[in-house]
Amino acid sequence: MSVPANHEFFIDPGRCIGCQACVHACSECDTHRGHSMIHLEYIDRGLTTQTTPVVCMHCDSPTCAEVCPADAIKRTADGVVQTARKPRCIACNNCVLACPFGVPKMMSQFELMMKCDMCYDRTSTGKKPMCATVCPSGALYFGTREEIEALRTSAVPTNRFRFGGQVIHTKVNMMVPANRSVEYVDVASALNEAPTGQDIELNILTDRRPAATTT
Amino acid sequence: MATLPAAPLETIEQFGPHLSYPAGARLDTAEEPDRQVKTHCCFCGQQCGIQLKIKDNVVVGFEPWEDFPFNRGMLCPKGVRRYLQGAHPDRLLTAYERDAAAPGGFRPLNYQAAVERVASEINRIQSAHGADAFAVLSGASLTTEKTYLMGKFARMCLRTANIDYNGRLCMVSAGAANKKSFGIDRSANPWSDIPQAEVVLIAGSNVAECSPITTNYVWQARERGAKVIVVDPRITPIARTCDLFLPVKPGRDVALFNGILHLMIEQGWIDQEFIDRYTVGFERVAEHVRQWTPQRTAEVTGVTEKAIRQAAQWWGQAKTSFLLHARGIEHHSHGVQNVLSTINIVLATGRLGREGCGYGTITGQANGQGGREHGQKCDQLPGWRDIDNPEHRAYIAKIWQISPEELPGKGVDAYEIFRKIDRGEIRGLLSICFNPKVSLPDNNFIGRMLDKLDFYVAIDFFLNESARHANVVLPGSLQEEDEGVVTSAEGRVIKINKCVDPPGDAREDWRIIQDIAQALGRQRGFTFDSPRQIFDELRRASAGGVADYSGITYEKVERQMGVFWPCPSEDHPGTPRLFEPGSWNPVAQGNGPFYFADGKARFNVATYAPPAEDVDADYPLLLTTGRVVSHFLSGTQTRRIGPLVDQYPEPRVELHPQLAEQLGIADGDWTTVESRRGACTLRAQVVRTIRPDTVFVPYHWAGLKSINQVTIAAQDPISKIPEYKVCAVRVSRASSPPAYAGVFEPQQ
C-alpha cells in the first residue's frame, strides 16, 4: 500500500500558530525517531507572531538529487523524495546548500543527509503523515483536493515556485490567497518584502505610527 | 517549622526538575508496544483524545486518535510529548519525610508509617485547635471521582470547612457569572457550533497557545465567511489573523462590553422579542450602559472609537455568533463583572440555544469543568449543590449516611486559607494537585505561610516547589496510572483510561486518601474498591442537581465518545447544547430554558471599576501574565519534559519597542519587573505585538524566575479569583544578571 494517489499535502502558512506540534510529532516518526525533519520559523518576531512550517516540498525535479555527486537521493514512483541512501551519502552537504526551500538537514553524527520523507512509514500503510495529523490549526493538511477545497474558501493550492531563473513544480502544495491569481510563488522576491502583520483592521499596535494611547 | 530543609540547589539535585528526553524503548522503533490505550491528554481543558503506547508498564509513545470527534487526531506540543512525564528520573517512588540531614532535605519513609504520621498530626492539630484548623487544597486536574472524594474526605472524615481548590485561580469568575446569568455553570454549546457562527468574538483568550485545538474551530468559521473579533492587550497568534482587534487596556473589559451594548441598543441591534420572553433585568442594564458612550468607552479602554463601533456593528447585526472567553477577562478583581458584561451582549442578541449561536468559557485545566462541580469548592456540595442550602445539605448527608448537622458549613477560598495560616487559625494542610508556591500571586507570602504551618503533607508524583516545604510527601499517581472521568471545556464527560500501574510505593490518589481515613479510624464512607464505585456514588449524589451525572456510565462515555451533562437518566443521550427552546431542566421545571424557577435568564448590571492597583508615578506600567504553548500551569510536569523546555526554556518579559526605547532596553537584555510586592529579573523580548503601556510575563516558573513574586493578591469579591491579569509595575534594564543566571538550569 502506498500514498493514495488522490491524497496530497497542503501547507497553509497563514494558519500556522507556531506551536511546534509538527516539529515534536515529526521526531516521533518511526523512520527517524528522535530527530525532527521540520523547520519552523518566525518571520520576524519583533513585528508579528507569524510563523511558517517548512516540510519537504517533494519537487518533481529535486534540486537536492540533481546536485548530489553520489546519486544518493532517490524519488519514489509516487513522487516522494527520500532521505539520502546511507551507503551512498558522502555527507558533502551539496543538497543542503542547493535546496531552494532549505529542507535537508546534515546529521553529522550519522554522516547522512536526512529530510522529510512525507512519513513514508505511515503513508505507505495508509496513515497520514504525523505532522499533518497533529497540526492543531490546519497549517499542515493531508487529504484530497476536494476536501481542502471544501474546507478552505480563502486560499487555493499552488505547486509552482520561482527562485530567480528557476521554476520548480512540487508534489506538496502551498495555500495562497484565493483572491489573487498566482502563476507561481516568487520566493526570492518575497524575501525582500517586510512582513506586513497589518491586515488587521484598526490595529494600533503594529501600526508604524505612535500608538493611540499609552497609560 | 521554619525554613526549607535544604538549599534549593540540593533539593533540585535530588528531586529535580530534571529533563527527560526519549531514550531506550522510546527510541527503539524495532520494538512493538505491548498495547495501545485510547485515553486523553493530561494537560488542558480541551482533553484531546490520544492513544498511548505501552511497553513493559511504561508509556513509550503515542499515536494520534483520529476517531475522537473533538480533536480528530490533532494535538499540541504538550500532547505530543506528554508521554515523557512517565518513568521520569524525578518520579517519587516512596513516601518522604523532611530531614535536613538527608540528601535534598527528605528521607524515604515507609508508606504506612507516613500515612500513620499524617493521621496522628491531623488528630493532634484538630484536637488542639479544632477541626477547621486543618485545611485541604485540592486540584482540578484530578478526575471527577477524586474531586468528589476530596470534598467528601474534608467534610465527612476531617470535618473541616476549609477545603478549596486550584480552580479558584482558574474558572471561578466564569462559574459565578454563569450561575448569576443562566443558573448553570457550563459552556452553553459544543464546539461544533463555532464553525456555524457568522461572528466569533474571543475575549481574553490566547486560544492558539492555551487551547490550540480551538484554533481550527475558529478558523473554520472564518473560512465560511465569519468575522473574528479578538479582545486582548497582545496580538496573540489567533489575533494575528482576526478581522478586528480590540487591544484593550488591561482591566477595562467591562467598559468595552458595556460600550458595545450601548451602541447595540442605540442602533436597535438587539432581539427585543427574546429579551421579553426569555430574560429579566434588561431595563436596568440598558439604563446602566447609557453612560458608556463610544467616546467614554474609548477613553477608558484605549481602543479606538471606530473599532468599538465596528465591533458593535458586526456583533449586533450578525444572525449567528459565538462568544468565547477565558482567563484574560476572568483573572481580575472584577472578573465576574467582566464575564457578566460579555453575557449581556450575548443575551441582548438572543443568540443562544440554537445551532451556530453560542457562548462558552474555555476551561484551563484538564478537569476545570468537572473539578468545579462535585464538592471540592469551599461553598459547594456534589451536583453543583450549595453547602448553605438546607435541602441540598440534607440530600448529600443522606447519600453519605450522616446527619446534616455533621456537615461543616462554608469554608474559605484558597488564598484566604493562607491568610488564615498567617492568623494562626489554620495550623495544618494537606495539598494534592496544587502548587501554590508557584501559582498563587504574591507567592513569597505563600512560601512563608507554608513554613509557618505546624504540619504540611503534600501528595504529588513529583516534589513540586510547594512540596519542598512539606513535612511528609506521599507519592501519588500520574493521570495515566488511574482511571476515571473528566469533563472537558465543552461540558463533555470523557473517560481517562489506565495505561500503567503506579511505580514503587506510589499509588492511586484515591487509595492514599482512603488510607489516611483508615489511619484516622474514620474509614466509614471511604472503602471504595475502584474509581467506578466512587463514580456510582457520585452519580447518585449528583442526581437531581444542576450538574446531573446520574445517567452517565463508563460504558456510555466510551460508546458515545463522551456524554454531555446534564444527563439525568440512563436512556438520556446527554445535553450537548444548553438552553434550547422548549428544553426541560430541574430548576425551571418546564417554565423555560434557563436554570431559574421562571426559566428566564438574568441580565446583570456589570459595573466598571479600575484594577485594584492602577498605575501611578512610581509604578507606571501594567503587568499582565499568562501561558506559553509548551508549558502548563506551574510547570511541575512540563518543566520536566526536555523537548518542551527546549521550545521555551525560560520566561521573558515582552515589551513594545516604544517602551523599550524609552527605557533603554534592547531585545535580550536582563530586565527587572518590580511591583510593591517583589521583583523578577528576566530577559527582554521586544515585540510590536503588545500594548506599549503593558508588559507580559508567562508564569510557569518557580523561585527567582516566578512572576508571581510580583503579581497582586487582590481578589474578585464574588469569585475570589486573584487579579493575575493586571497590576502596577516599574520596568528597568538590570545592572547585572540575576542571582539565578548560570546557577540554575532553565527549567529549575
What is residue A209's predicted lDDT score, i.e. its pLDDT?
44
> What average pLDDT does range B515-542 have in this prediction?
98
Q: Which residues pair with B458 in a beta bridge?
A: B431, B473
Q: Which of B478, B534, B472 is nearest to B506 (CA)?
A: B478
pTM for this entry = 0.96
Residue A110 burial class via C-beta count within 10 angstroms: exposed 0-12, middle 13-18, buried 19 and up: middle
What percentage of residues in chain B have a pLDDT greater than 90?
Answer: 99
Mutate to test the interface with B, among A10, A19, A133, A179 (most CBs of B within 10 A): A19
CB contact under 8 Å between A136 and B689, yes or no, is: no
Q: Which residues pair with A136 in a beta bridge?
A: none
Confidence of residue A196 (pLDDT cuts 50, 70, 90): low
Using the Cβ of A17 and the Cβ atoms of chain B, whether some distance falls under 8 Å is answered with yes
By CA distance, what is A29's nearest residue in B? B29
Q: Could you say which of A45, A133, A201 has the minimum Cβ distance to residue B73? A: A133
Q: Which residues of B touch A151 (CB under 8 A)?
A: 220, 223
Using the Cβ of A47 and the Cβ atoms of chain B, whether some distance falls under 8 Å is answered with yes
By CA distance, what is B301's nearest residue in A? A213
- For residues B490 and B564, is the Cβ–Cβ distance under 8 A? yes
Angle at the Cα of A92 from the Cα atoms of A91 and A94, rounded to 5 degrees? 120
| Secondary structure of B224-267 as H, E, C letters | CCCEEEEECCECCHHHHCCCEEECCCCCCHHHHHHHHHHHHHHH
Q: Which residues pair with B279 in a beta bridge?
A: B601
Using the Cβ of A40 and the Cβ atoms of chain B, whether some distance falls under 8 Å is answered with no
Cβ atoms within 10 A of the Cβ of B491, count? 28
- For residues B404 and B568, is the Cβ–Cβ distance under 8 A? no
CB contact under 8 Å between A201 and B27, yes or no, is: no
What is residue A154's predicted lDDT score, i.e. its pLDDT?
87
- What number does CATH give the domain B95-170+374-564? 3.40.50.740
What is residue A182's predicted lDDT score, i.e. its pLDDT?
78
Alpha-carbon distance A2 to B575, whole Å? 42
By CA distance, what is B224's nearest residue in A? A153
B126's grid cell: 484538630
Indicate the helix (H) or strand (E) that contains B301.
Answer: helix B294-301
> What average pLDDT does range B318-347 have in this prediction?
98
Using the Cβ of A200 and the Cβ atoms of chain B, whether some distance falls under 8 Å is answered with yes
Alpha-carbon distance B540 to B84, whole Å? 37
Indicate the helix (H) or strand (E) that contains B179.
Answer: helix B172-182
Mutate to test the interface with B, among A15, A16, A203 (most CBs of B within 10 A): A203
Q: Could you say which of B75, B81, B615 has the minimum Cβ distance to residue A215? A: B615
CB contact under 8 Å between A215 and B620, yes or no, is: yes
CA distance B692 to chain A (A): 6
pLDDT of B494 > 60? The answer is: yes
Q: Which residues of A touch B80 (CB under 8 A)?
A: 21, 24-25, 28, 134
Q: Which residues pair with A54 in a beta bridge?
A: A39
**Torsion, CA B192, CA B198, CA B203, CA B204, rounded to 10:** 60
CB contact under 8 Å between A205 and B304, yes or no, is: no
CB contact under 8 Å between B235 and A205, yes or no, is: yes
CB contact under 8 Å between B235 and A136, yes or no, is: no
Q: Which of B694, B699, B696 is nearest to B684 (CA)?
A: B696
Secondary structure class of B733 (helix, strand, coil)? strand
The 10s digit of each residue's pLDDT in B396-440 is 999 999 999 999 999 999 999 999 999 999 999 999 999 999 999
The 10s digit of each residue's pLDDT in B721-748 is 999 999 999 999 999 999 999 999 999 9
CB contact under 8 Å between A200 and B242, yes or no, is: yes
Quickly tell me which residue has 468528589 as its cell.
Answer: B148
Q: Could you say which of A34, A201, A215 has the minimum Cβ distance to residue B27? A: A34
End-to-end CA distance of chain A: 63
Q: Which of B457, B452, B453, B477 is nearest to B467 (CA)?
A: B457
Would you say domain B8-85 falls under CATH 3.40.50.300? no
Quickly tell me which residue has 475522537 as its cell.
Answer: B68
What is residue B31's predicted lDDT score, i.e. its pLDDT?
84
Parse chain A into domains and list their residue ranges: 8-190
Crossing angle between the packed helical segments B253-267 and B305-317, to the nearest 10 degrees: 60
Q: Which residues of B touch A17 (CB under 8 A)?
A: 208-209, 212, 215, 237-238, 629
B418's grid cell: 493562607
Cβ atoms within 10 A of the Cβ of B194, count? 22
Q: Which residues of B touch A142 (CB under 8 A)?
A: none
What is residue A3's predicted lDDT score, i.e. its pLDDT?
66
CB within 8 A of B292, min separation 6: which ones?
A: B255, B258, B259, B261, B262
Q: Could you say which of A14, A133, A206 has the minimum Cβ distance to residue B64? A: A133
The 10s digit of each residue's pLDDT in B266-288 is 999 999 999 999 999 999 999 99
Provide the chain A residues 136-165 that lie in CB contact (below 8 A) with chain B: 136-138, 151-154
Using the Cβ of A208 and the Cβ atoms of chain B, whether some distance falls under 8 Å is answered with no
Q: Which residues of B touch A35 (CB under 8 A)?
A: none
Alpha-carbon distance B242 to B261, whole Å? 21
Q: Which of B590, B576, B147 is nearest to B384 (CA)?
A: B147
CB contact under 8 Å between A215 and B693, yes or no, is: yes
What is residue A188's predicted lDDT score, i.e. its pLDDT?
79
By CA distance, what is A134's nearest residue in B? B74
Strands B694-698 and B95-98: unpaired
Confidence of residue A175 (pLDDT cuts 50, 70, 90): very high
Parse chain B into domains and list their residue ranges: 8-85, 95-170+374-564, 172-361, 621-733
Q: Which of B79, B654, B125 is nearest to B117 (CA)?
A: B125
Using the Cβ of A50 and the Cβ atoms of chain B, whether some distance falls under 8 Å is answered with yes
By CA distance, what is A202's nearest residue in B? B307
Using the Cβ of A179 and the Cβ atoms of chain B, whether some distance falls under 8 Å is answered with no
Q: In what order do the strands lie in the sheet with B227-231?
A: B244-246, B227-231, B199-203, B321-325, B357-361
Q: Could you say which of A14, A46, A138 has the minimum Cβ distance to residue B216? A: A138
CB contact under 8 Å between A47 and B81, yes or no, is: no
Segments in B585-675 forming alpha helices (H): 642-647, 657-663
What is residue A1's predicted lDDT score, i.e. its pLDDT?
54
Q: In the 8-state DSSP scheme, what is residue A37?
A: -
Using the Cβ of A67 and the Cβ atoms of chain B, whether some distance falls under 8 Å is answered with no
pLDDT of A180 > 80? The answer is: no
B417's grid cell: 486559607
CB contact under 8 Å between A34 and B242, yes or no, is: no
Among the CATH numbers 2.40.40.20, 2.120.10.30, 1.25.10.10, 2.40.110.10, which is that of B621-733?
2.40.40.20
> What average pLDDT does range B630-647 have in this prediction?
98
Using the Cβ of A27 and the Cβ atoms of chain B, whether some distance falls under 8 Å is answered with yes
Class at the top of the CATH hierarchy for domain B172-361: alpha beta
Q: Could you say which of A23, A197, A211 has the minimum Cβ distance to residue B658? A: A211
The 10s digit of each residue's pLDDT in B20-47 is 999 999 998 888 999 999 999 999 999 9
Q: Could you say which of A20, A45, A214 has the minimum Cβ distance to residue B687? A: A45
Alpha-carbon distance A204 to B244, whole Å? 11
CA distance B457 to chain A (A): 36
CB contact under 8 Å between B73 and A134, yes or no, is: yes
Alpha-carbon distance B493 to B338, whole Å? 28
Distances from the Cα of B150 to the Cαs of A9, A138, B291, in angstroms? 49, 40, 46
- Mean confidence (pLDDT) of chain B: 97
Using the Cβ of A193 and the Cβ atoms of chain B, whether some distance falls under 8 Å is answered with no
Confidence of residue B614 (pLDDT cuts 50, 70, 90): very high
Q: Could you say which of B28, B247, B310 has the minimum Cβ distance to residue A201? A: B310
The 10s digit of each residue's pLDDT in A99-131 is 999 999 999 999 999 999 999 889 888 899 999
CB contact under 8 Å between A200 and B244, yes or no, is: yes
CB contact under 8 Å between A136 and B213, yes or no, is: yes
B604's grid cell: 446583570
B510's grid cell: 484515591
Quickly tell me which residue has 472609537 as its cell.
Answer: B305
Long-range contacts of B587-596 (CB under 8 A, 24+ apart): B587/B183, B587/B546, B592/B278, B593/B278, B593/B353, B594/B182, B594/B183, B594/B184, B594/B278, B595/B182, B595/B183, B595/B184, B595/B546, B596/B183
By CA distance, what is B684's nearest residue in A? A46
CB contact under 8 Å between A153 and B223, yes or no, is: yes
> What average pLDDT does range B304-312 have in this prediction?
95
Residue B124 burial class via C-beta count within 10 angstroms: exposed 0-12, middle 13-18, buried 19 and up: middle
Residue B649 burial class via C-beta count within 10 angstroms: exposed 0-12, middle 13-18, buried 19 and up: middle
Quickly tell me which residue has 448590571 as its cell.
Answer: B605
CB contact under 8 Å between A197 and B688, yes or no, is: yes
What is residue A208's predicted lDDT score, i.e. its pLDDT?
45
The 10s digit of each residue's pLDDT in B235-251 is 999 999 899 999 999 99
Q: Which of B54, B655, B161, B644 is nearest to B409 (CA)?
A: B161
Segments in chain A forming alpha helices (H): 21-26, 63-66, 94-98, 120-123, 130-134, 145-151, 187-190
Cβ atoms within 10 A of the Cβ of B253, count? 30
What is residue A205's predicted lDDT score, i.e. its pLDDT?
61
Architecture of domain A8-190: 2-Layer Sandwich (3.30)
Compute the count of residue pairs across chains A and B with CB atoms less than 8 Å apart: 168
Alpha-carbon distance B154 to B150, whole Å? 6
Using the Cβ of A211 and the Cβ atoms of chain B, whether some distance falls under 8 Å is answered with yes
